[in-house]
Every structure is written in structure tokens, then in C-alpha cells.
Homo-oligomer: A and B are copies of this chain.
Amino acid sequence: MRIITSIKKMQSLSSQIHLQGKRIGLVPTMGFLHEGHLSLIREIKRHCDVTVMSIFVNPTQFSPSEDFADYPRDFVRDKKLAEAEGCDIIFYPDAKDIYPGNYLTYVTVEKISYILCGVSRPIHFRGVATIVAKLFNIVKPQIAIFGQKDAQQAIIIKKMVNDLNFDVEILVAPIVREKDGLAKSSRNTYLSPEMRRQASVLFQSLKAAEQKILSGETDAAAIKALIKNKIAEKPAAVIDYIEIVNPETLEHQAEIQGSVLIALAVRFGKTRLIDNIVVDKK
């Protein structure tokens, strides 16, 4: 496995790989790898010849009050885990090369960047779209994979790819969960043992909502109330949002018909966790 830190070296290596007629697959991450990230490597390897994982904690997707400085980092461990899964290249750039002085250019996906997580994180998806556009131009993948845990992110990236005509296929891989259902996240390490126990309510409430929909409930407000009441049983949980939306367009759904995405964000102390489920009502 090669570690590449230089943008120019990564670009010229990618051009060489293309000249050989090989397909590059990209797994963009912020590192501190868990089973969710590793599942992305395993999945993309089925679709490409050369797997590149990028590891970069992207400052432009954090607001000044957020956890950029504290975000967990462990490159030595990440390197071992990625190599064990058969990753071919880690792209591990320096922030001062990615955002040099007098950086001015941003990619924005209007409307869908300002709902759900975008309400409490107004610059977050601009930062995500910008870094993903940059990584696409540096790594030049034919295919890239993102996790369904960040459902809104995956939808925004698909929209950016389509709108800006990036010639990159986007895969979205299922959420990987802990035994009690908590979605794997690098941020879970922030939780105290008590908060960690309470945090299983996120998935439990989503499963309860799914059950209710599958047994005939069509009123989104009733489903949201059910989730809210279930989460409210946990004293450390502070709800940021619970929304029921179209899984392609993120449009609000007042009445549940066909397929819906139920997405939520809940704070435990300073830690903000997200989770979601797609319920397909036949």
C-alpha cells in the first residue's frame, strides 16, 4: 500500500493508472476508521482495479464552534486497518496544501444543503461539496463510495456530481451498526459510558417508527411524535431534529406513501449523533 501526501503526485499517478485502462475507486474519509469505513473499502474493491482511501479531516465543513480540533485522529492505526482490507493507496494530504492561503473557491448545492443537518450546520455541506469536488479532481476516480449513515451528504454529493457533470459513479453503502443498533461513528468515542448506553435509543426509535409505518400509519406528524417521545425517555438526549423526507430529493413528506427517509440528529452533551432509516412501504 502506498501513502501519497502530494496533490501533484496523486494526480500524475491517477493519470498513469487511467492510461493503463484501470478503474480507480475512491473512499473519502476523515480517518479514525471503524467497521463502517472498512465496509466501504470491501464494497468498492468489487467495482474497481485500484482502491484509494483519502484521509483528511476537512476544516471547511466544521464551524468555529464545532469539534474540528478534537476530532479523533490516529493515522498509524488507520494505515494498518486500510492495508489489511486491501486498500492500494492512502491519499493523506496536508491541510495547508488543500487550503492554501487566500483560498477562495467553494461549491454549493443550494436548498438541500440548508435543511435537516444544514439548519444547525449552515456551512457544513458547502465544505463537504467543496472537499469532495477537490478530491475528485485530485484522485480522478471513476467510482466513489459514501456511507448511508450520512444520508443527506450522500444525496448532496449525488446532486453535485450530476449538476457539475463529474464523470464519477456514486455508490452508497448501508449503515454498519454496533450490537445494540447504534450507528458506527468516529464521534461515538466522545460519549461517556452512560450516554453510550442511552444512545441506542436512536436506532430503537427509528425501528419503532418503521414498525408503525409498516402496520399502516401514514401521518408523518404521528411518526415524528412517536420517535420524539421514545427519545425523550433518555435524560441525556437533546433532539436537534426528526424529519421524514423523500429519500431522493429530501422534500418533506406530510403523508407517508412509497419510500421515505426518516432522519434525526440528537445531542448527548457536546456530542451530536445522526442516524436514519429508509422505510419502503409497498
Contact = CB atoms under 8 A, between A and B. Distances in A.
A6 to B, nearest CB: 12
Q: How many copies does the complex hold?
A: 2
Nearest to A113: B104
A218 to B, nearest CB: 26
A107 B163 contact: no
A96 interface: no
Contact of A107 (B7, B19, B106, B167): B106
A57 interface: no
Summarize A's interface: helix, strand, loop or mixed.
Answer: mixed
A18 B164 CA distance: 20
A83 B103 CA distance: 39
Nearest to A15: B167
Interface residues of A, number: 32
Contact of A164 (B102, B107, B112): B107
Contact of A105 (B105, B110, B167): B110
A139 to B, nearest CB: 10
B104 A107 contact: no
Interface string A1-26: 00000010001000100110100000
Nearest to A104: B110
Nearest to A7: B165
Nearest to A11: B167
A159 interface: yes
Given A106-B110, A134-B164, A138-B167, 7 more contacts: A104-B110, A104-B112, A105-B164, A107-B107, A133-B133, A137-B167, A138-B165
